Amino acid sequence: MPARLEGDAIVPVLDRIAESVTLPFECVVVVDDPEDPTIQVVAKKTDGDQRFRVVINEAVAGPAGAIKLGIARSSAPVLVVTMADGSDDPRAIDDLVRLVERGVVIAAASRYMAGGQQVGAPFLKSALSRLAGLSLWFFARVGTHDATNSFKAYDRGFLERVGIESDCGFEMGLELVAKARRFSLRVAEIPTIWLERSFGDSGFRLWKWIPKYLRWYFVAFTRSRTDPRSD
Q: What is the pLDDT along the chain (231 residues), one digit of tens a residue?
A: 999 999 999 999 999 999 999 999 999 999 999 999 999 999 999 998 999 999 999 988 889 999 999 999 999 999 999 999 999 999 999 999 999 999 999 999 999 999 999 999 889 889 999 999 999 999 999 999 999 999 999 999 999 999 999 988 889 999 999 999 999 999 999 999 999 976 555 555 566 778 899 999 999 999 986 766 554
Contacts of 75 (CB under 8 A, 6+ apart): 26
User: For the chain, what is the radius of gyration of the CA atoms?
Assistant: 17
Q: What pLDDT shows up at residue 60?
A: 83
User: Mapping DSSP to helix (H, G, I), strand (E, B) and coil, where does residue 179 land?
Assistant: helix
Q: How far is CA 73 from the centre of its chain?
A: 16
pLDDT at site 198 = 64
Single out the residue of 103, 97, 165, 175 nearest to residue 132, CA to CA: 175
**CA–CA separation, 68 vs 147, rounded Å?**
18
Domains for the chain: give ranges and CATH numbers: 7-226 (3.90.550.10)
**How many other CB atoms sit within 10 Å of the CB of residue 102?**
10
Nearest in space to 83 (alpha carbons), one of 194, 190, 177, 2: 2
Q: What is the pLDDT of residue 121?
A: 86
pLDDT value for 155: 99
pLDDT of residue 68: 96
pLDDT value of residue 55: 97
Strands 152-155 and 78-81: antiparallel
**Which pairs count as long-range contacts for 195-202, CB under 8 Å and 24+ apart, including other chains?**
195/86, 195/87, 195/119, 195/120, 196/87, 196/119, 196/120, 196/121, 196/122, 197/85, 197/86, 197/87, 198/86, 198/120, 199/9, 199/85, 199/86, 200/5, 200/6, 200/9, 200/85, 202/85
Would you state the pLDDT for residue 208? Answer: 76
Whether 83 contacts 2, CB under 8 Å: yes
Question: In DSSP terms, which residues pair with 185 in a beta bridge?
Answer: none
Q: How far apart are CA 188 and CA 103, in angstroms?
A: 10
